[in-house]
């Protein structure tokens, strides 16, 4: 579970053309102020370390950042921040070190490959990207390398751009970066779809290229591939939220806290420009429906990867409708098939081809129907113990 504190909501210093938060900005739902005491009280209710989020978290005045991180360190022993890195200065770096702040940076590539993260003009955009790249290098020099989030699109992951990205990641590994997360572009409007979205074939080619690059690298890892491998091996205790049957009205993996202390959900599921108040209890109707709905109607019926994928993140659902499976089904299915084949070559039996798969699916269906969630590891071991007891009686 991640506690995301958003003092200034979606307010940002740049204008990424594909940002999933743009519907809120278009609707004028941008916070104008915040209350530190209300934020602290909301964090205490959650009872865990938090990450400052945005928009751009570093738009919060440095004095207030220091107050929050000093309190967070004293209360929970660590802090976090997710940023585009443009505003990072010497004082921020001091605070990152002093208050044990893990830094996540969103950047889509070096130089012109990051141009979609727009700052008004090409000159200002390139200058902002240079600032982010410099911040990454400086954080590595200071012994606090950030993790990176990279969104793939036509400006950075077409066939002519991928070799540049591979060289960039080799360089990043050489300076100390060890963790990167790859995102397929989440589309909010038709104009972005036409201009920046990769075809399913291009997305698959890009991900396959990064999977092969990871085999060449020694310390830098893309968490998506570890997730997919672990899911197929029913070792998913620490898998990313996108695979974990997220309810879009409670988003249990992301506990948002707004500047006024209000509880909110993960912004990826917000398609209406409004931060809806978090529901009191989760529901798993999406996953029950996906399991029984034929694939030609937006469901997942009879997909052997359903237990691993679960229709993926509702924020990427077909037509923006959380009741459908992800619009990137084709890409994920091919990647799961690729990893499945590698596991079989290693002598493993992925859950996708296991004789226990249908029994395990029923455990999930019964659990969801009862209003609760589970994961593969727990469900598999529960079923295994049940089978052993039955054989002993």
pTM: 0.91
pLDDT in tens, 182-225: 999 987 777 788 889 999 999 999 999 999 999 999 999 999 99
What pLDDT is attached to residue 277? 74
What pLDDT is attached to residue 389? 79
- As a CATH number, domain 2-198+245-258 is 3.20.20.70
What pLDDT is attached to residue 21? 55
pLDDT in tens, 56-72: 999 999 999 999 999 99
> 161 pLDDT exceeds 90?
yes
Please list the residues that pair with 221 across neighbouring strands: 179
Quote the DSSP letter at residue 38: H
> 180 pLDDT exceeds 90?
yes
Q: Mean pLDDT, to the nearest integer, of 301-329?
A: 95
What pLDDT is attached to residue 361? 97
Q: How much is the mean pLDDT over the chain?
A: 92
Give percent of the chain with pLDDT exceeding 90: 75
Per-domain residue ranges for the chain? 2-198+245-258, 284-392
What pLDDT is attached to residue 377? 94
What pLDDT is attached to residue 264? 84
What pLDDT is attached to residue 191? 79
What pLDDT is attached to residue 357? 95
DSSP three-state, residue 195? helix
What phi, psi does 328 have (nearest 5°)?
-100, 25
Higher-confidence position of 19 and 145: 145
DSSP three-state, residue 331? helix
pLDDT in tens, 81-115: 999 999 999 999 999 999 999 999 999 999 999 99
**Confidence band of 272 (pLDDT split at 50, 70, 90):** low
Strands, E assignment, the chain: 2-6, 15-16, 50-52, 79-83, 101-106, 117-118, 147-152, 179-184, 221-222, 254-258, 263-264
């Amino acid at each position: 579970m991640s506690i995301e504190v958003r003092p200034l909501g979606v307010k940002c210093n740049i204008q990424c053309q594909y940002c999933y938060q743009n519907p809120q900005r278009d609707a004028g739902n941008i916070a104008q102020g915040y209350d530190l005491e209300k934020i602290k009280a909301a964090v205490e209710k959650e009872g865990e370390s938090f990450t400052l989020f945005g928009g751009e978290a570093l738009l919060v005045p440095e004095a207030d950042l220091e107050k929050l991180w000093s309190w967070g360190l004293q209360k929970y022993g660590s802090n976090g921040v997710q940023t585009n890195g443009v505003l990072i200065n010497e004082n921020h770096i001091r605070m990152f070190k002093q208050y044990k702040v893990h830094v996540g940076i969103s950047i889509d590539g070096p130089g012109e490959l990051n141009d979609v993260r727009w700052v008004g003009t090409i000159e200002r955009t390139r200058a902002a990207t240079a600032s982010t790249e410099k911040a990454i290098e400086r954080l590595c020099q200071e012994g606090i390398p950030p993790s990176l989030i990279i969104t793939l699109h036509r400006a950075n992951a077409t066939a002519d751009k991928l070799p540049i990205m591979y060289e960039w990641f080799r360089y990043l590994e050489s300076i100390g970066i060890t963790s990167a997360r790859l995102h397929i572009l989440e589309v909010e409007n038709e104009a972005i779809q036409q201009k920046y979205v990769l075809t399913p074939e291009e997305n698959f080619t890009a991900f396959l290229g990064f999977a092969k690059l990871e085999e060449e690298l020694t310390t830098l890892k893309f968490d998506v591939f570890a997730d997919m491998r672990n899911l197929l091996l029913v070792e998913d205790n620490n898998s990313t939220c996108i695979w974990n049957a997220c309810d879009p009205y409670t988003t249990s993996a992301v506990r948002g806290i707004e500047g006024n202390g209000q509880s909110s959900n993960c912004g990826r599921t917000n398609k209406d420009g409004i931060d809806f108040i978090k529901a009191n209890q989760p529901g798993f109707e999406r996953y029950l429906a996906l399991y029984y709905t034929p694939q030609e109607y937006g469901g997942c019926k009879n997909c052997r990867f359903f237990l691993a994928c679960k229709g993926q993140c509702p924020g990427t659902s077909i037509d923006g409708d959380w009741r459908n499976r992800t619009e990137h089904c084709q890409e994920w299915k091919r990647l799961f098939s690729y990893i499945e084949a590698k596991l079989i070559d290693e002598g493993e039996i992925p859950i996708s081809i296991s004789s226990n798969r249908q029994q395990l699916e029923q455990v999930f269906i019964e659990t969801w129907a009862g209003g609760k969630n589970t994961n593969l590891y727990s469900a598999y071991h529960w079923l295994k113990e049940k089978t052993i007891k039955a054989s002993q009686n």
